[in-house]
Structure 1
Amino acid sequence: MAQWLDAKITQRIDWNDHLFSLGFQCDDFPEYTPGQFTKVGIEQDGKIISRPYSLVSHPQDKSLEIMAVPVAEGVLSPKLHGVNVGDRLKIMAPATGFLVLHEVPDSRNIWLIATGTGVGPFLSILAGTEIWQRYEQVILVYAARHASDLAYGELIAKWQDEYPNQFHFVPIVSREKVNGALQGRIPALLSNGNIIEQAGQTLDAEQSQVMLCGNPQMIEEAMLVLKDMGLKKHLRRSPGQITQERYW
């Protein structure tokens, strides 16, 4: 049964003036699966104002972690942007969600394609051992508007060092030219083959699984491109190659 638990903020990372991560301690939080999300809230006037956030952290970590962007008209995110280490939060237990590896079929390679904070569940998945054991090649495609919006660079670089022949990182920045990154939007860069060329890996129905997370428009347009490439949405009753989670 879902219930609210008390949590204490133990870490805050400001990637820039609008993108931040919060780490918090909640000793009673039950075991979760990498890729899942939960609700995070702030108690105000006897009510809990909450929104769902994916867990960036891995279950083996000592603390829970989320990443967020303050939305001007949002009821919670501006308040979260204002909290500091030592402040209290509410977190809903248990975590939930189906953007998890045990819902994804086996294949030769797996593509993790994200925009913005949609990279969060993929970071949790990459921190575990299952993905490296099940797939020969792992490709992370991470898109943002500006280079400063690409978070967790040191963590991604660590995986590049640990799995140099297995892990392939394709950063994308849409609003500026950045050395080493593609410029544009994911659907167009899938359609013209630039993402596949940059990764140096195959993307087809026979050898690939794709996980999509982030902006709903990106997901809708990427789905159309992937379907034109012969891939289809994965369902338990009808296995396919595309697993997705929208962020709003």
Structure 2
Amino acid sequence: MIGLPNAERPVFRAYSVASPAWDEELEFYSIKVPDGPLTEHLQKVAVGDTVLMRKKPTGTLVLDALRPGKRLWMLSTGTGIAPFASLIRDPETYDRFDQVILMQGSRLVSELAYGAEITAATLADPLVGEAATGRLRLYNATTREPYRVTGRITDLLTSGAVHQALDLPAITPEEDRVMICGSVQMLQDCRQICLDLGLTEGANNKPAEFVVEKAFVD
């Protein structure tokens, strides 16, 4: 939870940390909401300004909430890609999984830029680049503007389009693990897809085949 000391009772919002666990700096990825109680001020923060942060982090998008598997699917829409920007730069991710598929759906092409930049930076990173090369795959799509792939994340999954494009088998409880972060409707739809595929939802204290982030601000 982060906020600003600009009121008697500061407004706090949940944001996923986009920087990897080993980084000395904290990175966040957010949209700019016109007249938003926090983002209208947060977007004007300058070097030297104070940002408030709650001491205890929360969330389910951690590797320990998943059982061992072969492939890790990271499903995101919009700024829901933020926690995955952290995980794809974590060496432990590649210790646990042979393949990492980062999926992002956005309305506009411009909204895909951050994911593409972070993926390229990961592959070039001296710490994780070698491990990620050939194993980290980015598959993104738009819903409102023409792009090389168009359609909703849910449709691309259920139709098999992503599996065909990346030459991957269908998701199974035996080999695949899934993390989901995005809008409320996307969370619900992707959760149901996972359940229909026979995957079990996990938690920090009960690892399973998929996890859903429920404290995300989109």
| TM-score, with length taken from structure 1 | 0.77
Residues of 1 paired with 2:84 and 2:142: CA distance?
Answer: 18
- The Cα offsets for residues 130-149 of structure 1, whole Å up to 9 and x where unpaired, read as 11011111111111111111
RMSD: 2.0
- The offset of 1:237, in angstroms, is 7.7
Once the two structures are superposed, the pairs formed by residues 132-151 of structure 1 within 5 Å of their partners are: 132-150=94-112, 151=114
What is the aligned partner in structure 2 of residue 199 from structure 1?
Answer: 166
What is the aligned partner in structure 2 of residue 243 from structure 1?
Answer: 211
- The offset of 1:188, in angstroms, is 1.2
Judging changes above 3 Å, is the alpha-carbon distance between structure 1 residues 56 and 238 closer, same or farther for their aligned structure 2 residues? closer
Q: Does 1:187 align with 2:154?
A: yes
- The offset of 1:44, in angstroms, is 2.2
- The offset of 1:239, in angstroms, is 5.4
Judging changes above 3 Å, is the alpha-carbon distance between structure 1 residues 156 and 239 closer, same or farther for their aligned structure 2 residues? closer
What is the aligned partner in structure 1 of residue 144 from structure 2?
Answer: 175
- The offset of 1:234, in angstroms, is 2.3
What stretches of structure 2 of length at least 5 have no aligned partner? none
Judging changes above 3 Å, is the alpha-carbon distance between structure 1 residues 207 and 154 closer, same or farther for their aligned structure 2 residues? same
Q: Does 1:82 align with 2:29?
A: no
Equivalent residue of 1:225, what SS?
helix
Number of residue pairs the alignment of both structures matches? 208
Residues of 1 paired with 2:210 and 2:76: CA distance?
Answer: 13
The runs of 4+ residues in structure 1 deviating greater than 3 Å are: 158-162, 235-240
Q: Does 1:154 align with 2:117?
A: yes
What is the aligned partner in structure 2 of residue 224 from structure 1?
Answer: 192
Residues of 1 paired with 2:86 and 2:150: CA distance?
Answer: 26
Equivalent residue of 2:42, what SS?
helix
In structure 1, give the amino acid aligned to 2:182: G
- The Cα offsets for residues 178-205 of structure 1, whole Å up to 9 and x where unpaired, read as 23xx211111111111122223223211
Equivalent residue of 2:102, what SS?
strand
Residues of 1 paired with 2:205 and 2:193: CA distance?
Answer: 23
Kindly indicate whether the alpha-carbon contact (under 8 Å) linking 2:104 and 2:115 is maintained by their aligned counterparts in 1. Answer: no
Residues of 2 paired with 1:153 and 1:86: CA distance?
Answer: 29
In structure 2, give the amino acid aligned to 1:245: E
Identity %: 29
Which is helix-richer, 1 or 2?
A: 2
Query: Highest relative contact order (Cα 8 Å, sep 6+), 1 or 2?
Result: 2
- The offset of 1:76, in angstroms, is 0.8
- The offset of 1:73, in angstroms, is 5.1
